[in-house]
């Protein structure tokens, strides 16, 4: 883990920071000097992220939070402000997956994905905007290549990630005068426990085969690493990206632009 001072003096909230991309971003931000609020629904996983940060000399605080519940989210932001200071950076990384066409997607499936992937982002955006107005800040939403291209058997997931992308554009436009930047990164397949769980649930007995198949869908020939997404996130949330807002960055091994070449 490379240290730097790009975020020194800033307070960052990272949702879904108990594992995968969110965890990697929280650890990288702490190494760059930020005070990091690790938001997660599972205390054990989120606490492990906090301990990793503290062991490396960083400052972090665990806040158990269900992002789908607005009252809980607003309470979490107040706890963060009281313990780490007003939020300067928000990363919306919490999300859940689903495999299936529209025919295979139940109403319960749709509601479950909407609650976390769309309403959860909305709740955190709403809380962050209230805290950042008059001060400025940086917001980064984690979307997906599914926001921009059609993926087979990802009806509900693609719907939610498309919403994340368009929420990014709206917030960037509405609050540019408040010096609040809002950007989005859209990963392709990143090897995380999220992916491992999806394969175990949907392709039991064929996990290895499906992993290799999914890895090959990136023209670069492999899945990405959470740490690679974290480096892009650090840049976009730092003052080095002060001229960037309302942008969507694919981090996808060439998936979107090179797949049909």
Are the beta carbons of 161 and 146 closer than 8 angstroms?
Answer: yes
CATH classification (class only), 11-187+225-247: alpha beta
Across the chain, mean pLDDT equals: 95
Instruction: Name the residue ranges covered by the structural domains of the chain.
Output: 11-187+225-247, 190-223
Give the closest residue to 224 by CA, choosing from 197, 260, 188: 188
The predicted-structure confidence for 50-95, as pLDDT tens digits, reads as follows 999 999 999 999 999 999 999 999 999 999 999 999 999 999 999 9
Per-residue confidence (pLDDT) for residue 4, from 0 to 100: 75
Model pTM?
Answer: 0.94
Please tell me the predicted confidence (pLDDT) of residue 202. 82
d(CA 43, CA 125): 22
Tell me whether residue 249 is one of the annotated catalytic residues.
no
With b meaning 16 or more CB within 10 Å and e meaning fewer, what string describes 230-248?
Answer: bebbbebbbeebeeebeeb
The three-state (H, E, C) secondary structure of 167-227, written as one string: HHHHHHHHCHHHCEEEEEEEECCECCHHHHHHHHHHCCCCHHHHHHHHHHCCCCCCCECHH
Compute the average pLDDT of residues 124-150: 97
Q: Look at residue 217 in the predicted model and tell me its pLDDT.
A: 86
Active-site residue, selected from the candidate residues 114, 122, 157, 203? 157
Maximum pairwise Cα distance, the chain:
54
């Amino acid at each position: 883990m490379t240290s730097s001072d790009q975020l020194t003096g800033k307070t960052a909230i990272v949702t879904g920071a108990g594992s995968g991309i969110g965890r990697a971003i929280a650890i990288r931000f702490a190494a760059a000097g930020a005070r990091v609020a690790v938001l997660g629904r599972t205390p054990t996983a989120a606490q492990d992220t906090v301990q990793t940060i503290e062991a490396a000399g960083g400052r972090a605080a665990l806040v158990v939070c269900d992002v789908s519940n607005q009252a809980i989210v607003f309470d979490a932001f107040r706890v963060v402000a009281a313990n780490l200071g007003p939020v300067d950076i928000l990363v919306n990384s919490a999300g859940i997956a689903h495999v299936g066409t529209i025919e295979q997607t139940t109403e319960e499936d749709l509601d479950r994905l909407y609650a976390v992937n769309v309403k959860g982002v909305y709740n955190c955006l709403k809380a962050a905007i209230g805290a950042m107005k008059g001060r400025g800040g940086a917001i980064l939403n984690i979307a997906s290549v599914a926001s921009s291209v059609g993926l087979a058997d990802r009806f509900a997931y693609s719907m939610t990630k498309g919403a994340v992308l368009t929420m990014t554009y709206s917030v960037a436009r509405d609050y540019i005068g408040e010096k609040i930047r809002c950007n989005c990164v859209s990963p392709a397949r990143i090897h995380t426990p999220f992916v491992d769980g999806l394969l175990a649930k949907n392709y039991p007995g064929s996990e290895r085969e499906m992993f290799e198949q999914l890895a090959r869908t990136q023209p670069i020939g492999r899945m990405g690493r959470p740490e690679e997404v974290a480096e892009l996130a650090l840049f976009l949330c730092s003052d080095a990206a002060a001229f960037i807002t309302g942008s969507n960055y694919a981090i996808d091994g060439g998936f979107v632009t090179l797949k049909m070449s």
